[in-house]
Structure 1
Amino acid sequence: MSTDPLIGRLTAELQPVRRQSPRRAALILAMLCITEIIVLLSLGWMRPDMPRAMGMPSFWWKTASLTVIMMIGATTTLRSLNPTRSPRPGLRALGYVVLAALAAGWMIDAAQVGPIVLWRRLDPVHGLRCARKIIELSLPVALALGVIVRRGASVDPRGTAWAAGSAAAAWGALAFVMACPFDDPLYVAVWYSLGCGVVSLVTRLALPWLTRW
């Protein structure tokens, strides 16, 4: 029995799919991030002691670390939309960068922090607020990446979801850096990791289900 009629019926109503452009997707994300920064600045989110903060190694440590994590996560996500590319190498690089950032933060912490009570350094009341703000600020980028991933053809939805969640989480934390008055490396490592971890995990769980065909 010939299968040609069956194949013809199955393909009769198919419509051509517009090819994804990583450059166009990256431009959309960049415009979204710039817009979010402009909105935050217009709302007066800039920390009043920014000149002093910019002279501290811990400020540049968290800013640089989050920037690199965001760039690797976003690049890995966009590349993985091509079915010939796997997100796994990018995810491994992301893991190495996170470990290196934590190690660098530990060295900065050992160099500049004196004998302060651990509980005071963590400041859970403000720490939980920071984690919540990071989650909120990551939502626009997470939603945008969800739409972009939905139009792609990733062969590893879980890996792509991890990369997208990491990029969105790092962006939320990076946007919050200009408003967060805390530069203690221990505080940043704990509460920023909590906020970023929640975003990454939720994205990992939700995105494959929302983007499946």
Structure 2
Amino acid sequence: MPTGSLIDRLARELRPVRRRAPWREAALLLGLGAIELGLFLGLGLMRPDMTAAMQLPVFWWKLASLGLIGLVGGAVTLFSLDPVRSPRPGLRWLAVLIAVCLGGGWLLDASREGLAALVGRLDWHHGLQCLGKIVALSVPAVIALGVVMRRGAPTDRAGTALAAGLAASGWGAFVFVFACPFDDPLYVAVWYSLGCGVVTLFARLVLPRLARW
């Protein structure tokens, strides 16, 4: 087939692609998050001792840390959907943020005598339940970010998927903070990290397969 005819044929098969609107995508994701949080609280799943918990520094540490991880991860994901942007610098900042958050939890925990009661503090029975709930609450965000990623044009699909997984897991854990009755930084560092790790690993393995190119 002559080159000119081939080009004409390929051009005829092209379909218009709607231009991305990153700010609109961000607004939609934030709206989805607000709806999930509202439904979660509206179903009466908030911890019964919320008033007392809000007096504890560790509660605000959990809330602020997970909220920041979710927001920064979401921003890195959206920016990396542009083919000329790489998610790698943002992922490095995310790693620094996570380290700072964990360090803040360690400082809150420094005055506790936890070594002798390590197993009791971890409370693996409730910890596994927390892990499962974090994963479940992260599912809507994973789906939403997967749809956004498919509509975008990330050149580093693995990095974008990793950022999306961190964003989704951070949001799921943020929502769960309002129900979780455990404020021990060691408990939070272990079980929340495991829950977020499961979601992030899933997103890293699955989302690149959904990307368009």
Q: Which residue is 1:164 aligned to? A: 164
What SS does the aligned partner of 1:171 have? helix
1:206 shift after superposition: 0.1
CA contact under 8 A between 2:69 and 2:98: conserved in structure 1? yes
What SS does the aligned partner of 2:110 have? helix
Structure 1 consecutive aligned stretches of length 4 or more whose deviation exceeds 4 Å: none
After TM superposition, the score normalised by the length of structure 1 is 0.96
Are 1:24 and 2:29 counterparts? no
After TM superposition, the score normalised by the length of structure 2 is 0.96
1:67 shift after superposition: 1.1
The one-letter code matched in structure 1 to 2:107 is M
CA contact under 8 A between 2:153 and 2:212: conserved in structure 1? no
1:212 shift after superposition: 3.7
Deviations 1:35-68 (A, max 9, x none): 1111111211111111111111111111111111
What SS does the aligned partner of 1:41 have? helix
What SS does the aligned partner of 2:191 have? helix
Deviations 1:133-166 (A, max 9, x none): 0000000011000001100011110000000000
The one-letter code matched in structure 1 to 2:210 is L
1:204 shift after superposition: 0.3
Q: Which residue is 1:114 aligned to? A: 113
Q: Which residue is 1:204 aligned to? A: 204
Q: Is there any run of 5+ residues in structure 2 with no aligned partner, and where?
A: none
* Rounded Cα–Cα distance in structure 2 between residues aligned with 1:90 and 1:63: 21
What SS does the aligned partner of 2:188 have? helix
1:114 shift after superposition: 3.2
Q: Which residue is 2:131 aligned to? A: 131
Identity over aligned pairs, percent: 57
* Rounded Cα–Cα distance in structure 2 between residues aligned with 1:93 and 1:25: 22
The one-letter code matched in structure 2 to 1:174 is F
CA contact under 8 A between 2:91 and 2:163: conserved in structure 1? yes
Q: Which residue is 1:14 aligned to? A: 14
* Rounded Cα–Cα distance in structure 1 between residues aligned with 2:87 and 2:117: 41
1:2 shift after superposition: 5.3
- Pairwise CA RMSD: 1.2
* Rounded Cα–Cα distance in structure 2 between residues aligned with 1:4 and 1:98: 54
CA contact under 8 A between 2:81 and 2:152: conserved in structure 1? yes
The one-letter code matched in structure 2 to 1:114 is E
Deviations 1:61-115 (A, max 9, x none): 111111111111000000111111111111000000111111111111013x234
The one-letter code matched in structure 1 to 2:131 is A
Q: Is there any run of 5+ residues in structure 1 with no aligned partner, and where?
A: none
* Rounded Cα–Cα distance in structure 2 between residues aligned with 1:148 and 1:10: 26
CA contact under 8 A between 2:153 and 2:211: conserved in structure 1? no
What SS does the aligned partner of 1:155 have? coil
1:4 shift after superposition: 2.1
Q: Which residue is 2:79 aligned to? A: 79
Q: Which residue is 2:40 aligned to? A: 40
Number of residue pairs the alignment of both structures matches = 212
Q: Which residue is 2:104 aligned to? A: 104
* Rounded Cα–Cα distance in structure 2 between residues aligned with 1:20 and 1:199: 26
The one-letter code matched in structure 2 to 1:64 is A
The one-letter code matched in structure 2 to 1:48 is P
